[in-house]
Chain A
Amino acid sequence: MGAQLRVYKRRIRSVTATKKITKAMEMIAASRIVKAQRQVAASTPYATELTRAVTAVAGGSTTKHPLTTEAESPARAAILLITSDRGLAGGYSSNAIKAAEKLTERLRGEGKEVDTYVIGRKGVAYYGFRERKISDSWTGFTDSPTYADAKRAAAPLIEAVSKETAEGGVDELHIVFTEFVSMMTQNPVDDRMLPLSLGATEQEDGKGEILPLFDFEPSAEDVLDALLPRYVESRIYNALLQAAASEHAARRRAMKSATDNAGELIKTLSRLANAARQAEITQEISEIVGGASALADATAGSDK
């Protein structure tokens, strides 16, 4: 076997091995999307009921709560950015990071300081590499987040919101995550969690629903006090679940195109290998023919 042919054969072998790996990752991601979607669906009733309750209290009572009222001159905002722990998911993490950067820019433009909280190793690496300050970060659960993870991430945020701005608290709470629209579409979105923008929550519930006057047990303030942290946790949990589904969908798509590219490469390389083999055979034949005719010439000469 010629040198050229051997090189082609070796490359085909290596690309085939890579293709097997990407194919496997594609199938794993595809199966996980379904699971992640199911989790999103399972968490929806809690989120809807909670949103309804929050809307009812915030809209139905005249209580002023630091978490529902807009600060007159917001000076500091917190951003919670959700990225993935692992790569090989196309532009998934970098798109989310880009959205967070854009939001940071906008908030800075409005004259607010920005504290960044990051979930996922990719985001931590991005900020670490650029030596930017992260207020807090969590890693290791972006594949399949649990409610406890959301609670863990929510705790310092809620604490920051409840603190006075002068003592290092924040006035606004934003979340940046990748929204799962469908298997093919996932959009990075930014959302303001607090203070509540009641217009938006009412629209989500469907127009025209008039909420009754509630009797609060023990009191509207206490209910709101207990309700809002749960609301933030549930929003973060929902965002984490959607982000997980998006991550798997992005990974599936990235791995699918990698598999396709590998297939394409194998095809091209086999063509080249075939051509090299054919050229080798042709050369061998012409060598034999040439040798034979030289021999014939030589014998013809000696006959004379």
Chain B
Amino acid sequence: MAAELHVELVAADRSVWSGEATLVVARTTSGDIGVMPGHQPLLGVLESGPVTIRTSDGGTVVAAVHGGFISFADDKLSLLAEIAELADEIDVQRAERALERAKSDTDAASERRAEVRLRAVAAH
């Protein structure tokens, strides 16, 4: 049996997803990083972006993460984010509307948030 790592994806006000996985790909400030079981203990700052979790039963979980941290030690990985949403939870139409609105208001922060959401859905 392949080695597994335990993943906890938590937002500030709730626990979003937790389970076993074989690979987690996240975007840190210095580039994408993939974590597999047995990785060296790691603590990194996350960029806004989609996080891909390959679960041990072969499925894939994609979540949009807006800022936060990744911390890995002893085959336990925690993703901490102020805001985190699973791709299934994201309302595509709403995100698209938000993107349009943000673009017309030139609100960079919400434009990026909406873009990340859409990218997460696309990657799903």
A217 touches B30 (CB 8 A): yes
Contacts A42-B14, A56-B43, A222-B45; A212 near B28 (Cβ below 8 A): no
B44 touches A223 (CB 8 A): yes
* Cα of A215 to Cα of B77 in the assembled complex, Å: 14
A45 touches B8 (CB 8 A): yes
A148 CB to nearest chain B CB (Å) = 9
B28 touches A218 (CB 8 A): yes
B108 within 8 A of A: no
A215 touches B40 (CB 8 A): yes
The residue on B at minimum CB distance from A226 is B45
A194 within 8 A of B: no
Give the most central of A49, A151, A212, A218: most B CB within 10 Å: A49
The residue on B at minimum CB distance from A47 is B12
CB-CB contacts below 8 Å: A222-238 with B: 222-223, 226-227, 230, 233-234, 237
Interface size class on chain B is 20 to 34
B122 within 8 A of A: no
A49 touches B12 (CB 8 A): no
- Residue of A42, A53, A215, A233 near B69 (CB, 8 A) is A53
Contact residues in A for B10 (Cβ distance below 8 Å): 45-46, 49
B33 within 8 A of A: yes
CB-CB contacts below 8 Å: B47-95 with A: 68-71, 73-74, 78, 80, 82
The residue on A at minimum CB distance from B14 is A42
B39 CB to nearest chain A CB (Å) = 9
Contact residues in B for A56 (Cβ distance below 8 Å): 43, 71, 73
B69 touches A222 (CB 8 A): no
A214 within 8 A of B: yes
Contact residues in A for B8 (Cβ distance below 8 Å): 45, 49
B71 touches A217 (CB 8 A): no
B42 touches A214 (CB 8 A): yes
CB-CB contacts below 8 Å: B3-51 with A: 8, 10-15, 28-30, 33, 40-45
CB-CB contacts below 8 Å: A248-265 with B: none
A217 touches B28 (CB 8 A): yes
* Cα of A218 to Cα of B28 in the assembled complex, Å: 8
- Residue of B45, B71, B74, B82 near A147 (CB, 8 A) is B82
A73 CB to nearest chain B CB (Å) = 32
- Residue of A42, A50, A218 near B15 (CB, 8 A) is A42
B45 touches A218 (CB 8 A): yes
Contacts A46-B10, A53-B80; A215 near B43 (Cβ below 8 A): yes
Contact residues in A for B11 (Cβ distance below 8 Å): 46
CB-CB contacts below 8 Å: A49-69 with B: 49-50, 52-53, 56-57
* Cα of A45 to Cα of B8 in the assembled complex, Å: 9
Contact residues in A for B45 (Cβ distance below 8 Å): 217-218, 222-223, 226-227
B69 touches A214 (CB 8 A): no
Contact residues in A for B12 (Cβ distance below 8 Å): 43, 46, 147, 233-234, 237
Contact residues in B for A217 (Cβ distance below 8 Å): 28-30, 33, 42-45, 70
Contacts A147-B12, A214-B43, A217-B45; A222 near B29 (Cβ below 8 A): yes
8 CB contacts below 8 A, A to B, read A53-B71, A53-B78, A147-B82, A212-B74, A213-B41, A214-B73, A227-B69, A230-B68
List 13 additional contacts besides A57-B43, A214-B42; criterion CB under 8 Å. A39-B13, A46-B13, A52-B78, A212-B41, A215-B41, A215-B42, A215-B43, A217-B30, A218-B44, A223-B43, A230-B80, A234-B12, A237-B13
Nearest 6 A-B pairs (CB), nearest first?
A217-B44, A212-B41, A147-B12, A218-B30, A214-B43, A226-B45
